[in-house]
Structure 1
Amino acid sequence: MAEVMVTVMPFTGHVTPVLQAVEALRGAGHRVRVYCGSRFAAQAAATGATPVVWRHAPDFDERDLRATFPRAGRPGPRGALANLEHVFVRTAALQAQDLREEWERRPWDVLVADSLSLGGALVSERLGTPWATVSVVPLALPSRDLPPPGLPLAPGRGRLGRARDAALRGAVRVASGRLRRALRQTRAAAGLDPAAVRLDDQWFSPFLVMALGIPGLEPERTDLPAHVHFVGAFPPGGDAALPPGWEPALRARRPVVHVTQGTFGTDPDDLLRPAIAGLGGRSLTVAATTGVVGRDALPFAVPDGVLIAARVPYARLLQLTDVMVTNGGWGGVLAALRHGIPLVVAGRDLDKPAIAGMVARSGAGIDLRTGRPSPEAVAAAVDRVLTEPSFAQHARRLADQLNAHDTAGEVVRLVGQLVADGARVVREASPWAA
């Protein structure tokens, strides 16, 4: 039995898969603590782990980022950079302080960090202890073979394409100068050499990276580090009953379209309103979730027959879904594909436009190329996905790859190997090797 510290940023999309990893580690007999925001402490405790809440670090609520970080919470590229700087980077030294105090109270054998939880990376470097990354968003490791992470672009082909990608990588380095300065200041505040680790490398353990996803969704690269392991996706939770009236409606003899904006960036005008306007009143069953606990209605008229709820048991819903219309959250995309469900993606900001591009290039869905599509665009995309068999065929192909993984078992095995080997790289052959 090992003593494990798990760190996770207090966002629902991060906490949900990380707590599934915690349940797996607890099931294997490990003693686990979870460093998270106070809003998620009860969920962490429900796994049998011991929650450790943010104390020195600002304990914020994802539903109102600007209450704690006035410069964050805005849409668009500048907003994404502000989120990274103020929410993820500039809180990391205080996260590390919390964790250092917890270490002094009771040391751990290994730390497992959400890929955007920099406090775990900093305290592990300071203590010289082994740590692992769980990448709960698409793998954002830069590569000489690819455009910069986060851009919705296919890898360039030929000399001109490779030159384009190299130029873009240089441009991103310039554009992220403020973020790099913030990291240097944060490292100094944590008692570390400000220049010892580059921004691109700071997010990932040098010993073990467990990436949610599969190579079938990733562009091939020749320089993937040997300690990166794709582990598939945890099964979506929730086998409780659906809301009253949903089950018979979803089982009616017509296609079911699930519409979701995930749990972050939940302005219903972005996707719910145009999707419902485009799909409502047609020979479809539209099942929409607002993503906000307590928001079981929408602030606009909804056609008869459209089902609305804050959240629903996903495992049950996806068994009955034919197409998902989504803003591109990674967890929701993987959950749909795990069920072989093709997608229509409207990615607005953060990593979502890049995820939309990944889905489109895989053949398993359509990228609407905007986060606020027209009703006509949503309806036309859903019609294509329902009538062209290739989308469902590609979604089933990816489902086979995802379901070939025992994600919980792989996390337990890999973390156990890191504990046994100490500060040694947990290696795997390239997933694209012949």
Structure 2
Amino acid sequence: MPFTGHVAPICAVAQALVTRGHDVRVYTGAAFRRRVESAGAALVPWQIAPDFDENDLSATFPRVVGKKGLGQLLINVQDVFIRTAPAQVEDLRTAWERTPWDAIAGDEVSLGGALFAEQTGGVRATVALLPLNLSGTHGPPSGMGIAPGRNPFTRTRDAALRAAVPLISRPLRRPLAQARAAVGLPPSARAFDKVAFSPRLVVASGVPQLDYERTDRPPSVHFVGELRAPTTVAAELPRWWGDLDGRRVVHVTQGTQNIDPSDLIRPALEALADRDVLVVVATGVSGRDELPFAVPGNARVAGFLPYAELLPRTDVVITNGGWGGVLAALSHGIPLVIAGGDLDKPEIAARVAWAGAGVNLKTGTPTAAKVAAGFDRIMADESFRDAAARVGADLRSRGGAPRAAELLESLV
């Protein structure tokens, strides 16, 4: 799917496959052409499928306006992932007829790839770029931001929630059925995750520590840590980069979606304005190097920042909980303060807190006082940094993109 947080790790896997001698094409939005081609792959752009701007979803999908929480999640899944799938299938068929491929791998919301593989009987894998959202027999359903129960009462709660999933996901049934019918597939009672995830191979970003150490994952799931391409070109650094020298650095980010800076960036800046730290803010939009409000003297702002250079110099990350950024921080052993409010962010925050590697603020719009309290907990309790180091060591040991490429090779 044409989101920066999806394209970047997919391109890392593509680059690893190219390095191993394979011909790779990446089907995604035209805005990512340079990123795809820099990985050595060829772009297959969305054409019949409605190529959209991730920073302005409502321009293409007007129903997402004003939606929050579960309402936003269900609308996003319906309109962005499911209803675009038949057109994705048409694009993929055109590409297939031009030059067939041996295997197709898609992220876990690229329903078009899943339907095309089902339609043609082709070999398919899933590269999971989000917290693993496979249904299972233990714990609560993924996505609710609830840690698995540890006593009879909470285990009963988990079982009740699992039983309620068909009712909760009922709004997805009709769009799924319509998408299948539109591409000539027979009706199916399978839920979204059973359609989207390959039953043969799931290459999952992350580590079991960030999956509640669940024991009900199928043998097709292989955790590979962080999917990141090696840095080969020196990044252009902001003019103020030298200000980081000798300072305790706190990085603040709201990712690339739901990026109203008043949600998290403003309260974080207010919380840390009088602290002896340098606050480094990423706005999440290329070229947007300023904020629409005054910033304190200990803050520096840029659109995007080179994590390969920034994270080794960062002490704490304050984030809305985007999975890619969380994995990047933890790979460097950095503890997190997470304000996850929408989509998969509450789930990510709950997983990091369960692993002991961060503080879950349990809201996407915290007050400055709440951010300050979370930051103070991190600074006062070394267990957060110790847990982040453990998770980071596991992430680094899993092989990353080269291991993902090795697993995908096994398909053919």
What interval of TM-score do these two structures reach, taking the shorter chain for normalisation? over 0.9
Deviations 1:71-124 (A, max 9, x none): 125322111110110000111111011111211111100001111101000000
The residue that corresponds to 1:240 in the other structure is: 235
Name the residue aligned to 1:126: 119
Does 2:217 match 1:224? Answer: yes
For 1:71, what is the secondary structure of its paired residue?
A: helix
**Which of 200, 223, 226 is 1:207 aligned to?**
200
Q: SS in structure 1 opposite 2:313?
A: coil
Do the aligned residues in 1 keep the contact of 2:13 with 2:402 (CA within 8 Å)? Answer: no
Cα distance, 1:227 vs structure 2: 0.7
CA shift for structure 1 position 211: 0.4
| In 2, Cα distance between equivalents of 1:216 and 1:286 | 29
The amino acid of 1:34's aligned partner reads: V
Match of 2:348 in 1: 355
Q: Is the 8 A contact 1:185 1:194 kept in 2?
A: no
Q: What letter corresponds to residue 223 of structure 2 in structure 1?
A: F
Mapping of 1:302-341 within 5 angstroms?
302-341=295-334
Identify the residue that residue 5 of structure 2 maps to in structure 1: 13
CA RMSD of aligned residues (A): 1.4
Pick the aligned partner of 2:153 from 147, 150, 160.
160
Secondary structure in structure 1 of the residue aligned to 2:296: coil
- SS of the equivalent of 1:112 reads strand
Judged with a 3 Å threshold, the aligned counterparts in structure 2 of structure 1 residues 318 and 337 are, in CA distance, closer, same or farther, namely same
Structure 1 residue aligned with 2:54: 62
Q: Distance in 2 between matches of 1:17 and 1:235?
A: 6
Give the TM-score, by structure 1 length: 0.92
Q: Verify the 8 A CA contact 2:229 2:401 in the aligned structure 1.
A: no
Give the deviation of 1:220 after TM superposition.
Answer: 3.1
Distance in 1 separating the partners of 2:320 and 2:100 = 40
What is the aligned length? 409
Paired residues for 1:26-425 under 5 Å: 26-73=18-65, 74-195=67-188, 197-235=190-228, 239-246=234-241, 248-252=242-246, 254-419=247-412
Which amino acid counterpart does residue 61 of structure 2 have in structure 1?
F
Instruction: Give the SS at the match of 1:307.
Output: strand
Q: In the TM superposition, what is the alpha-carbon distance from 1:242 to its structure 2 partner?
A: 2.5
Cα displacement (A) at 1:23? 0.5
Cα 1:364/1:154, change in 2 over 3 Å: same
Query: Is the 8 Å Cα contact of residues 348 and 372 (structure 1) preserved in structure 2?
Result: yes
CA shift, 1:241, in A, is: 4.4
Q: Distance in 1 between matches of 2:380 and 2:244?
A: 19
Question: Post-superposition shift, 1:196?
Answer: 5.5
DSSP-derived class of the 1:59 partner: coil
- Structure 1, gaps ≥5 residues long: 1-8, 420-434
SS of residue in 2 equivalent to 1:147:
coil
Counterpart Cα distance in 2 of 1:286 and 1:220:
33
State the secondary structure of the residue aligned to 1:132.
strand
Kindly provide the amino acid, as one letter, of the partner of residue 271 in structure 2: G
**Counterpart AA for 2:245:** R
Give the Å deviation of 1:161.
Answer: 2.2
CA drift of 1:198 comes to: 2.7
Shift of 1:237: 6.3
Q: Write the distance in 1 (CA, Å) between the matches of 2:206 and 2:255.
A: 18
Q: Distance in 2 between matches of 1:332 and 1:206?
A: 28
Q: How far apart, CA to CA, are the structure 2 residues paired with 1:200 and 1:135?
A: 11
SS of the equivalent of 2:199 reads coil
Shift, 1:281, TM fit = 2.8
Contact 1:114 1:133 (C-alpha < 8 Å) held by counterparts: yes
CA contact (8 A) 2:223 2:398 kept: no
Query: 2-side partners of 1:172 and 1:297: how far apart?
Result: 43
Query: % of aligned pairs identical?
Result: 52
- TM-fit CA distance, 1:199: 2.0
Question: Which shows bigger deviation, 405-414 or 166-175?
Answer: 166-175
AA at the equivalent of 2:194: D
TM-superposed CA distance for 1:207, in Å, is 1.1
Question: Which 4+ runs in 1 deviate beyond 3 A?
Answer: 235-239
Indicate the SS of the match to 2:410.
helix
1:360 CA drift (Å): 0.7
Q: TM-score scaled to structure 2, two decimals?
A: 0.96
One-letter code of the match for 1:404? S
**Partners of 2:132 and 2:204 within 8 A in 1:** yes
Q: Distance in 2 between matches of 1:16 and 1:156?
A: 34
